Amino acid sequence: MARDLRAEQEVEWEGAGIPTEVAAAPTVAKPSEKVVITGERLRAWGWLSALSLVDQGLASGAGFAVSLLLARWMEPEVYGAFAVAFAGFLFVSGFHNVLLLEPMSVMGPSRHAARLPGYFRAQIAVHFILVGALCGVSLLGGLILWKVIPRSPLLGAMLGGGLALPFLLLAWLARRMCYVMQRPSTAVLGSGLYLSVVVAGLFVLAHYGWLWSFTAFLLMGCGSILASGLLFWRLGLLKRGRAIETDVSWRVTLREDWTYGRWLVGSALLYPAVSQAQIILIATLLGLGAAGILRAMQLPSLVMTQVITATGLLSLPVLSGDFAHGSFDRMRQKAMLVSLGLAGVALCFAGFLAVFSVQVEQLLFRGKYIDQAWLISVLALIPAASAFSTGYSMALRASQRPQFDLLANIVAAPVGLFSAVLFIHWWGLAGAAGSLVLGFVVLSGVTFACFRSQGSGRV
């Protein structure tokens, strides 16, 4: 099976006109080898990066479409309920990311490269064990809300998010497997199917008057089921047959995931204080309508956030491969190139939004939030700060030292939380936006300091 996957990967590279030895170079390196920038390498990396961006754009485009249409068609209070429920979903999914997706991206290329199919099956089993607990937490929160405030618009949003959670995360798992295999073109197929199902479903639901927070989450869950099934089929994971010698025990995989991810559990708990607490606090202090406005004004900057995420997803397995082969200098150089390149692009994007924020608001929301359009440019500084630390953060994780991510969140979380309380009290919506930016700036700065503290990268 591993040979079949490798052969299919080589066919994809050759079909794209990329020499196999060049495309494979990012994950196979000699300890003394330095980064040599050649036309073939730039072509290979550029092609894989472009596919990664397309995949991330398709996957996030569906979520963006849901958020955009709900923001345009719903009252701010109702959309605010969706925003709060989505913030809760992101909080819960953070544990899935640090206990499964991150370990798989690091351990897969470095420890299980010769038996990835069996390793992936073990991770699927771990997924269902972990998600069962996370889904129970989400639904329990919805039931508590139903008992306390049965008429709240949050109720349907929380229940829908809880039901969709296992399937949304399953699609994330399948896409991450494609990145571990350095096959973003396969991930594009799944994301394209997901986008098609969700967009078509949105118009059907809107036509019949069934588009609510609850049905929007269920629609995303259905699209995720279809997308993950397609990706598992393309990766050959549905062709079970007889037992394969390279199968990996799910218990061993779970223990390995926990050994790596336990340091990031703290980050999953603390990171929402930087990125999500402002939505919850502003909904509590100023109402669900204010939370809906803040989320709507953040949508344009999420475009750049997805670019940053896509590049990070593609670079993590590459940097993990360099670390596994002892190419520390090579890993550090790549990390710096990723961070500086992304930061430059993100700053240009922020400048564009600063100049054309009113026009962007008119295009997306038809003047519904025109009085708050200036917040678009402020919130665009968030991906700029995040971009600067992306390469450094991925290098630290590839070095199998996720405790540095925890350290960065330990410093940034109190700043984000306390600034949110004070700034919202002083400046309302503007304070929430300023708190978000400040939290990410601190997080980025501490991450960079941790990277510099590692010297040559021999951690």
Summarised one tens digit per residue, pLDDT across range 51-71 is 777 877 787 777 788 888 888
The C-alpha angle with vertex 128 and arms to 127 and 133, in degrees rounded to 5, equals: 100
**What pLDDT is recorded for position 75?**
82
Q: Is the residue at 287 inside a domain?
A: yes
Mean pLDDT computed over 119-148:
81
Least confident of 3-17, 185-199, 264-278: 3-17
Q: Is the residue at 97 inside a domain?
A: yes
Q: Is the residue at 232 inside a domain?
A: yes
Range of the domain at 65: 2-453
**What pLDDT is recorded for position 8?**
42
**What pLDDT is recorded for position 314?**
72
Location of structure tokens 């593609």 = 314
Model confidence at 301, in pLDDT bands (50, 70, 90)? very high
Which helix (H) or strand (E) segment is 16 a member of?
Answer: none
Question: Phi and psi for 235 in degrees, rounded to 5?
Answer: -85, -5
**What pLDDT is recorded for position 241?**
52
13 has pLDDT over 50: no
304 has pLDDT over 70: yes
41 has pLDDT over 60: no
Total residue count of the chain as it appears in this document = 459
Domain count, the chain: 1
Q: Is the residue at 117 inside a domain?
A: yes
**What pLDDT is recorded for position 46?**
59
**Cα separation of the two ends of the chain:** 34
Both tokens of residue 248?
């990996």
- Residue 434: exposure state from Cβ atoms within 10 A (0-12, 13-18, ≥19): buried
Mean pLDDT computed over 70-96:
83
- Residue 36: exposure state from Cβ atoms within 10 A (0-12, 13-18, ≥19): exposed
pTM score, two decimals? 0.73
**What pLDDT is recorded for position 5?**
41
**What pLDDT is recorded for position 49?**
65
What is the residue-averaged pLDDT of the chain? Answer: 81
Q: Is the residue at 236 inside a domain?
A: yes
Model confidence at 157, in pLDDT bands (50, 70, 90)? confident
Q: Is the residue at 459 inside a domain?
A: no
Q: Among residues of the chain, what percentage have pLDDT more than 90?
A: 31
Least confident of 27-41, 157-171, 296-310, 406-420: 27-41
Rounded CA gap, 32 and 55, in Å?
33
Model confidence at 410, in pLDDT bands (50, 70, 90)? very high
Pick the more confident residue, 16 or 148. 148
25 has pLDDT over 50: no
